[in-house]
Amino acid sequence: MSRTFAITNQKGGVGKTTTSVNLAAALAHEGQTVLLVDLDPQGNATMGSGIDKNEQEITIYDVLTEQIEPSTALVRSEEGGFDVLPANGDLTAAEVELLDMMMKEHRLRHALKKISASYEYIIIDCPPSLSMLTVNALTAAEGVIIPMQCEYYALEGLSALLETVNQIQAVLNPDLRVEGVIRTMYDPRNSLTNEVSAQLNEYFSEALYKTVIPRNVRLAEAPSFGEPIITYDPQSKGAKAYFELAQEMIQRHQGDVPDSAGLNETGPAGQAVSYEVVEGDQ
């Protein structure tokens, strides 16, 4: 049985695509069969997986508009060891076209059902906005994985995202839940990082992954070479963190960690504090 997770955050620049690509690669390295669905018209997850988005004549756009079967659009990421449903600028047109289609919110869900038996994990990289593409991802997924920087404005955006999840759960996908929250670009030397991290731990409890993704220069470099961090620099702190995250996710689904569906009653809160970003080392 496959597990389908949408990696999303309506705030950009939080490591969403970085997490999508590197978590897919790390899960594949752990022996899991993985499909990465690039649902962002920028196609960054496609490029980060070592696939040239500009050379793809068949993409997720053709799948969503039901011009082809999803199995026809699959491309192998040789670097990452997983399959990809790629995206490029063509996907922008789907935003408009889907609005006039029947069952527009369920297009991705129906497509993935045709190929899900071949995978243990399906990871969906969402665009950084609440669009029809994101709605399709949340309708298709069983869980939402939220990458977050530990900063004040990230907490503000989190409330809006959780409200979106609740709305999708109520109307389109009653099985949807918050699978987990990942702290990204993490610098423990920063006092605000520690304050926000403590609030996330209080609010999300077991849904907060113990693994944190550090600020890491090598992690930022890897996409420009079209490689996941685990092949670009497997000894870097970024690679080790994504290995640990994949192992934690697998253990969670083996029942070693309590279910992550529930949240505490009080929401996260933060105070605006100015601080300096410190680049992490290798």
Q: Which residue in 46, 50, 44 sits closest to 36, CA to CA?
A: 46
**% of the chain surpassing 90 pLDDT:** 65
pLDDT of residue 63 exceeding 50: yes
CA 208 to CA 205: how far, in whole Å?
A: 6
CA 179 to CA 6: how far, in whole Å?
A: 9
Please state, rounded to an integer, the average pLDDT across all residues of the chain: 87
pLDDT, tens digit (0-9, with 9 covering 90-100), for 65-108? 999 999 999 999 999 999 999 999 999 988 889 888 889 999 99
Ordered by start, the domain boundaries in the chain are 3-253
Q: For 3-253, give the CATH class.
A: alpha beta
How open is the CA angle 187-16-151, to the nearest 5 degrees? 40
pLDDT value, residue 128: 85
pLDDT of residue 270 exceeding 50: no
239: its two tokens: 């690679």
pTM: 0.88
pLDDT of residue 171 exceeding 70: yes
pLDDT of residue 43 exceeding 80: yes
| Average pLDDT for 271-275 | 28
191 versus 28: which is more confidently predicted? 28
CA 263 to CA 252: how far, in whole Å?
A: 17
pLDDT, tens digit (0-9, with 9 covering 90-100), for 46-56? 999 999 999 99
Q: Are 145 and 24 within 8 A, CB to CB?
A: no
pLDDT value, residue 255: 55
pLDDT value, residue 147: 94
pLDDT, tens digit (0-9, with 9 covering 90-100), for 252-269? 888 544 343 334 433 443
